A and B are shown apart, each in its own frame.
Chain A
Amino acid sequence: MSRGDGLFGSYVQGTSVVHRAPLAAKFVALLAVGVATTLLPSWWTGCLLLALVVGTHALAGLGLGRLLRTMRPVLPVLVVLFAFQWWSQDAAMAARLVLGILACYIAAGVVTGTTSPSALIDAVVGAARPLRRWLDPEAVGIAVAVMFRSIPWIADAFGEVREAARARGLERNPRALVLPVVIHTVGYARATGEALAARGLGDPVEGPQDAPAGGSRPGGPGAPSTNDGAPG
């Protein structure tokens, strides 16, 4: 099964320097790669940037197999982009652009591959804390983690639907591709939302740990437990 295998959501356990780096540092580095791609003076500096990113990928111990797997879905797009840029501009410009995109893509894969979902939620919750008057930071953190997990799921749903369409000889019919993916995705979103709600993960976090940790319960029927709509 290849589900969940992809750029996002595929955290690889490890103890490398990259794994241990604080998430904020990784985000800054990712941002730096993004900015650098817009400033590349030539195609060979693009190669240099790409080499740097691939080196970091290796340093994190993420492996060549993962690198190739995560690149596979974007390669066709990049080939088309390269051809178009070459035709409309020139080869050096096309190479610079494609190398830059590839570097960003792999750099993003390094961040998701070395950051556990829990660490990601913690970081997002921390970052969202100043907004807590308007948003529940826990909910934002969980939403981001679920979003990361959903991207490969939707990509895979697309692959499955395409196979099903091919089996019926409909692979050229966009409706036979898009509609089932939308239906799959809506169903998936509903199921995920329901699973989160059933676990109380959408409920407002109560005040400073007044919740009983199992065992004793605060009063019986009619206990003044007004959890609803009072998030701190």
Chain B
Amino acid sequence: MPTIELRDVVVDVPTPGSDTPRRLLGPVELTLSEQRISVIGANGSGKSTLLRLVNGLVQPSRGHVRVDGLDTVRQGPAVRQRVAFAFTDPLSQLVMPTGREDVELSLRRRHRRADERRAAAEAVLARFGLDGLSDQSVYDLSGGERQLMALAAVLATDPEVLVLDEPSTLLDLRNTRVLRERLTALPQMVVLATHDLGLARDADRTLVVEAGRVVFDGPPSVAVDEYVRRSGG
């Protein structure tokens, strides 16, 4: 598995009308190399900020984030080739009108020729069992189909790490189960944030985030208990 390192990482944002910045996250010190990692915590605790650091969508105000030794700030493009990121809402992720077009968009860098790209996209869609839906408007897909299509689009380039921000939030029970099965089958390293404690338990290691700090780091079942306890449950 690849290694994700966060060294003394802090994320600050300027506060309007004040000189002291607001701290969203940190300081955080982490080395992640397990295949399945989940991040749980209350709304606004800093989960998304932590995930966004991993592929350079958010840059640390202090410290370094590295993926396989590549710095997310200085070597951002190389990091993004290795780290795919999927958002909660697949519609903000799918930027093309159909799944096929979106997968082809992902493959533009790899295949310059249109016919090669098309063939490669077909292969990816078939691999995810989505070939029957590839020409349907993304607006006409069900929520679950859309989420799987968005995953196929970001996985098309064979990244080494997949980062997911609340992938099951918009899904019903059945589609959540399908998603969990698909994720379990992935050979990649997966880092996900979730409010779904069942999904969180699928991991090898779980981080509990509270007010911008990692307050627990360990086995999922213990982490979930700790989170429930801290939430007054």
Q: How far is the CB of A112 from chain B (nearest CB, A)?
A: 10
Q: B39 to chain A: closest CB distance in Å? A: 17
B109 close to A (CB within 8 Å):
yes
| Residues on A with beta carbons closer than 8 Å to the beta carbon of B97 | 4, 9-11, 117, 149
Q: Given contacts A119-B114, A197-B57, A198-B57, are A191 and B77 in contact (CB under 8 A)?
A: no
CB of B144 within 8 Å of the partner chain = no
**Is A142 within 8 A of B139, CB to CB?**
no
Contact status B55-A198, CB under 8 Å:
yes
B174 at the interface (CB under 8 A from A): no
- Minimal beta-carbon separation of A82 from chain B (angstroms): 33
* Contact among A192, A206, A227 with B95 in the assembled complex (CB-CB below 8 Å): A192
Whether A142 pairs with B105 at a CB distance below 8 angstroms is yes
| Interface status of B230 (Cβ within 8 A of chain A) | no
Q: Is the CB of A213 within 8 A of B154?
A: no
Interface assignment of A130: CB less than 8 Å from any CB of chain B: no
Shortest C-beta distance, B79 to chain A (Å), equals: 9
Partner among A10, A121, A199 whose Cβ is within 8 Å of the Cβ of B106: A199
B61 part of interface (Cβ distance < 8 Å): no
Residues of B within 8 A of A1 (CB): 139-140
Tell me if B15 counts as interface (CB < 8 A to partner A).
no
CB A187 to nearest CB in B, in angstroms, measures: 9
Q: Chain B: how many interface residues by the 8 Å CB criterion?
A: 42
> Is B229 an interface position by the 8 A CB rule?
no
By a CB distance below 8 angstroms, the chain A residues around B55 are 198
Cβ–Cβ contact B135 & A222, under 8 A: no
Closest CB of chain B to A113's CB: distance in Å? 11
Given A118-B101, A118-B104, A149-B95, residue A204 in contact with residue B77 (CB < 8 A) = yes
Q: How far is the CB of A90 from chain B (nearest CB, A)?
A: 43
- Asked whether B31 is an interface residue with its Cβ less than 8 Å from the other chain, the reply is no
Interface centre among B69, B78, B104, B139 (most CB of A within 10 A): B78
**CB atoms of B78 and A225 under 8 A apart:** yes
Chain A: interface size category:
35 or more
Q: Which residues of A contact B105 (CB under 8 A)?
A: 117-118, 121, 142, 145, 199, 201
Closest CB of chain A to B149's CB: distance in Å? 13
C-alpha spacing A71/B115, complex, angstroms:
34
Specify which of B68, B76, B110, B114 is in contact with A213 (CB 8 Å cutoff).
Answer: B110
Q: CA of A198 to CA of B85 in the docked complex: distance in angstroms?
A: 6
Find B135's partner among A13, A201, A211, A214 (CB 8 Å cutoff): A13
Interface string of B124-139 (1 = CB under 8 A from A): 0000000000010111
B182 at the interface (CB under 8 A from A): no
Q: Which residues of A contact B75 (CB under 8 A)?
A: 225, 227-228
Among A9, A204, A228: residue with most chain B CB under 10 A? A228
What is the 8 Å Cβ interface bit string for chain A, positions 110-123, against chain B (1 contact, 0 not)? 00000011110110
Q: Which of B64-92 contact A (CB under 8 A)?
A: 66, 68-70, 74-78, 80-81, 84-85, 87, 89, 92
Q: Does B93 contact A (CB under 8 A)?
A: yes
| A192 shortest CB reach to chain B, Å | 6
| Interface assignment of B12: CB less than 8 Å from any CB of chain A | no
Whether B202 is near chain A, meaning CB under 8 Å from some CB there, is no
Name 24 A/B residue pairs within 8 A (Cβ), A-sorted: A1-B140, A4-B138, A10-B97, A11-B98, A11-B101, A122-B114, A191-B87, A192-B95, A195-B93, A197-B57, A198-B87, A199-B80, A199-B105, A199-B153, A200-B80, A200-B81, A201-B105, A211-B81, A211-B110, A220-B68, A225-B75, A227-B76, A228-B75, A228-B77
- Give 4 closest A-B pairs by Cβ, nearest first: A221-B69, A200-B80, A191-B92, A203-B77
Which B residues are closer than 8 A to A by beta carbons? 55, 57, 66, 68-70, 74-78, 80-81, 84-85, 87, 89, 92-93, 95-98, 101, 104-106, 108-110, 114, 117-118, 135, 137-140, 153-154, 157-158
**Contact surface of A with B, Cβ cutoff 8 Å:** 1, 3-5, 9-11, 13, 116-119, 121-122, 138, 142, 145-146, 149, 188, 191-192, 194-201, 203-206, 211, 213-214, 217, 220-223, 225, 227-228
